[in-house]
Chains A and B, each alone.
Chain A
Amino acid sequence: MSAPEDSDRLVQGTSNDAAISRESAARLGYIADPFIQHFVRHPQRRAPLINRGTFTRFQGVQKTLRQFLRYTSQNQQQHQTQNQVVILGSGLDTSYFLLAKDNIRAKRYFEIDFAEINAKKAATIYKKPDMRRLLPADTKVAAGGCELHSEEYCLLSGDLRLFAQDIVPRLLEHGFDTSAPTLFVSECVLIYLDPQHSDSIIDWITESVANAAILTYEQILPSDRFGQMMIENLRARGLELRGLMAYPSLESTRDRFLSRGWVSAAAIDLSDYHKKAIPQSELSRLARIEFLDEWEEFSLLAKHYAFTLAHTTHSKSFASIKLI
Chain B
Amino acid sequence: MVLDIDKCIAQLYNGELLAESQVQSLCLQVRPILANESNVVPLSAPVTVVGDVHGQYHDVLEIFAIGGQCPDTNYLFLGDYVDRGNHSVETISLLCCLKLRYPQRIHLLRGNHESRNITKTYGFYTECTTKYGGSAVVWREFTDLFDYLALAVVIEDSVFCVHGGLSPSVSHIDQLRVLDRFGEIPHEGPLADILWSDPDPDIQGFGRSQRGAGYTFGAQVVDRFLHNNGMSHILRAHQLCMDGFLVQFNDRLSTVWSAPNYCYRCGNIASVLQVDPYLKRDFITFTAAPTSPHKPAPLQSTDPSSYFI
The residues of A with any CB-CB pair to B shorter than 8 Å are: 13-14, 17-18, 20-21, 44, 46-50, 52-54, 56-57, 188, 219, 224-230, 233-234, 236-237, 239, 270, 287, 290-297, 300-302, 305
Complex Cα spacing A47 to B309, Å: 10
Tell me whether A300 and B112 are in contact (CB under 8 A): no
With contacts A14-B304, A295-B211, A296-B239 taken as known, whether A230 is within 8 angstroms of B265 at the C-beta atoms is: yes
Interface string of B106-143 (1 = CB under 8 A from A): 00000011000110011100000000000000000000
* Binary flags per residue of B200-214, CB closer than 8 Å to A gives 1, else 0: 000000000011110
7 further interface pairs, Cβ-Cβ under 8 Å (given A56-B309, A233-B265, A236-B300): A219-B307, A230-B265, A237-B303, A270-B309, A291-B213, A293-B122, A301-B265
- Minimal Cβ-Cβ distance residue in B for A51: B309
Q: Which residues of A contact B301 (CB under 8 A)?
A: 233
Whether B308 pairs with A21 at a CB distance below 8 angstroms is yes
Q: Shortest beta-carbon distance, A23 to chain B, in Å?
A: 11
Q: Name B210's contact: one of A226, A228, A295 (CB within 8 Å).
A: A295
Q: Which of A54, A226, A294 touches B309 (beta carbons < 8 Å)? A: A54
Asked if residues B122 and A21 are in contact (CB atoms below 8 Å), the reply is no
Q: Can you list 5 contacts pairing A with B, beta carbon distance less than 8 Å?
A: A18-B308, A228-B267, A229-B265, A236-B300, A302-B309
Q: Which of A56, A226, A292, A293 has the most CB of B within 10 A?
A: A293
Chain B residues near A (Cβ < 8 Å): 84, 112-113, 117-118, 121-123, 210-213, 239-240, 242, 261-268, 300-309
Chain A residue at minimal CB-CB distance from B213: A291
The verdict on A293 contacting B112 (CB below 8 Å), with A50-B309, A229-B267, A233-B265 known, is yes
Please measure, in the bound complex, the distance between the C-alpha atom of A270 and the C-alpha atom of B307, giving whole angstroms: 13
A233 in complex: contacting residue of B211, B242, B302, CB < 8 Å: B302
For A228, list chain B residues within 8 Å (CB).
Answer: 267
Q: Is the CB of B267 within 8 A of A291?
A: no
Q: How far is the CB of A215 from chain B (nearest CB, A)?
A: 16
Do A21 and B305 touch across chains, with their CB atoms under 8 A apart?
yes
Given contacts A48-B122, A287-B212, A294-B240, contact A225 B306 (CB under 8 A): no
Tell me if A236 and B309 are in contact (CB < 8 A).
no
**Is B309 a contact of A239 with CB atoms below 8 Å?**
no
- 7 closest Cβ contacts across the A-B interface? A53-B309, A225-B267, A229-B267, A296-B240, A236-B302, A233-B302, A226-B267
Residues of A within 8 A of B112 (CB): 293
CA distance A20 to B210 in the complex (A): 27
Q: How far is the CB of A126 from the nearest CB of chain B, in Å?
A: 27
Q: A229-B261, A295-B210, A297-B263 are in contact. Are A290 and B306 (CB under 8 A)?
A: no
Q: Within the assembled complex, what's the spacing in Å between the Cα atoms of A89 and B211? A: 36
Q: Is the CB of B302 within 8 A of A226?
A: no
- A200, chain B: closest CB distance, angstroms: 25
